[in-house]
Amino acid sequence: MKRLDTLEAIVLENPEYAELATFLRLTRASVGLYADPLRMVTDSQTAKQLAKSKLRPTIQARLIVRSKEVNVGEDVNLEMQLTNEGEAPALLVKVEEILPTGFELVAKPGYCRFEDTYLGMNRKRLDPLMTEEIRLTLRSFDKGIFEIKPKVIYVDATGHQMSCEPEPATINLSETILPDRINTGYKDLDSLLLGGIPENYAVILTSPSCDEKDLLIKRFLETGASEGQITFHITIEASGAKALTEENQSSFHLFICNPQANKIIKTLPNVFKLKGVENLTDISIALSKAFRRLDTSITGPRRACIEIISDVLLQHGAVKTRRWLTDLITELKSKGFTTLAVMNPKMHSPQEVHAILGLFDGEINIYEKESEKGLEKFLKIKRMYNQRYLESELPLRKERLKK
């Protein structure tokens, strides 16, 4: 007993022997006077190893990427297996650097939260010899080769922090561009469309009134003008198209349906001013005049943007609007136009909306939904007749739309 007391005093007085204190107490409690405390000194290195490996958790991480070659805009399914090879429970704190630059986190376990650049794990308990599988879905609209090199942070019951890093994984994101596509001017949408809207298609954009919709229309029109394509814009407001109209008089044609048209924009050969949407025949006549005036020296794709559908539908009802649109879409297709029409479905009954949607070859939808960041806007291609496209959900970011 005396030798045991002496050894305990030495251990407690010397910090370098602190790790032996636990074993000394266990020895006293279990075998008392008959223990051989001097053997603990000779086996001190073994005791230290035991203290490190068995009294604390030891997490080993493994990173699994289901497919390392994916298209831009497609989901990347990532799995991280965390195994506790120690003999004490671990509390999982966070995973750092789990998202490469330009990636969005699409899906994660319910107990996790994503903040800044790390995945918070809410101090989830991982018992010895147990494995936690963390399944994540990532998405990016930037092509290139990306490395995923996360770092797992965890603590033991005393709060002592530890970390581990799995072998990094690489992902190659490539871009698929199909032939005969008309790019929209918004790179992320073009990735979903595999290069753009199919040429000579009539596609409708359904969206509430929002900046993102306006920016998307602006990019569509600017791209047509910058590429020297014949571009028609049928609208109520012309504030976003004044410069395009004045700078591209041979290729950009503006049809403004507004009683105040003279106050909105000056008279130019490529501007057609109409009193409103009350007389659909007048709009059709103006379009016919524009078709006859087209510069035949400008070849290649043509594009049209129709922004007056909701106004026409409110004014004339579903039957008359459907008849007028059928004729207009047919005429535009016969002249080689790829059309992007716009409608606000919140302004109409479901029956009226469906009466219009059926006229188009495809539909792109902008909508709002709750996310961890609050109310956000997303874009999704709902259909594109007889064409390939990605069904991924695209978060709309104004900064990317403005690029």
Distances (CA, A) of 328 to 309, 356, 363, 365: 12, 13, 17, 22
Query: Cα(395)–Cα(106) distance, rounded to whole angstroms?
Result: 10
Domain 59-174 and domain 181-401 have a common topology: no
Q: Which residue matches tokens 């059928």?
A: 326
In the sheet that holds 118-126, the strands lie side by side as 113-115, 118-126, 90-96, 151-155, 161-164
**What backbone phi and psi angles, to 5 degrees, belong to 46?**
-65, -40
Please, which residues have CB within 8 angstroms of residue 161's CB and are 6 or more apart in sequence?
A: 93, 153, 154, 155
pTM for the structure as a whole: 0.78
Rounded Cα–Cα distance for residues 363 and 92 (Å): 44
Q: Which of 78, 50, 221, 214 is nearest to 150 (CA)?
A: 78
Res. 9: pLDDT tops 90:
no
Average pLDDT over residues 103-119: 89
pLDDT band at 15 (very low <50, low <70, confident <90, very high): low
4 pLDDT above the threshold of 70 = no
Paired residues of 71 in beta bridges: 174
- Residue 97's pLDDT band (boundaries 50, 70, 90)? very high
pLDDT in tens, 213-246: 999 999 999 999 999 999 999 999 887 788 899 9
Q: Is the pLDDT of residue 47 over 50?
A: no
For 66, other C-beta atoms within 10 Å of its C-beta total: 11
Read off the pLDDT band of 32 (50, 70, 90): very low
Averaged over 84-105, what is the pLDDT? 93
Amino acid, single-letter form, for residue 296: T
In whole angstroms, give the CA distance from residue 29 to residue 191.
Answer: 69
Tokens coding 401: 């739309």
Distance CA 97, CA 146 (A): 12
Look at the domain 59-174 and name its fold.
Immunoglobulin-like (2.60.40)
Q: Cα 188 from chain centroid?
A: 9
Paired with 115 in beta bridges are 118
Confidence of residue 400 (pLDDT cuts 50, 70, 90): confident
Beta strand 118-126 pairing with 113-115: antiparallel
pLDDT at position 81 is 96
Residues 284 and 137: their CA atoms lie apart, in Å, by: 48
pLDDT for the residue numbered 378:
95
122: left (phi over 0), alpha (psi -120 to 50) or beta: left
Residue 5's pLDDT band, with cuts at 50, 70 and 90, is low
| pLDDT at 37 > cutoff 70 | no
Domain boundaries, the chain: 2-53, 59-174, 181-401
CA-CA distance, 149 to 268, in Å (whole number)?
Answer: 58
Question: What CATH class does 181-401 carry?
Answer: alpha beta
Q: Is the dihedral of CA 124, 127, 128, 130 positive or negative?
A: negative
Residue-level pLDDT at 170: 94
Q: pLDDT at position 371, please?
A: 77
Which of 35-39, 101-105, 119-123, 328-332 comes out lowest in average pLDDT? Answer: 35-39
Report the 10 Å Cβ neighbour count for 229.
20
pLDDT of residue 112: 92
- The mean per-residue pLDDT over the stretch 159-163 comes to 93
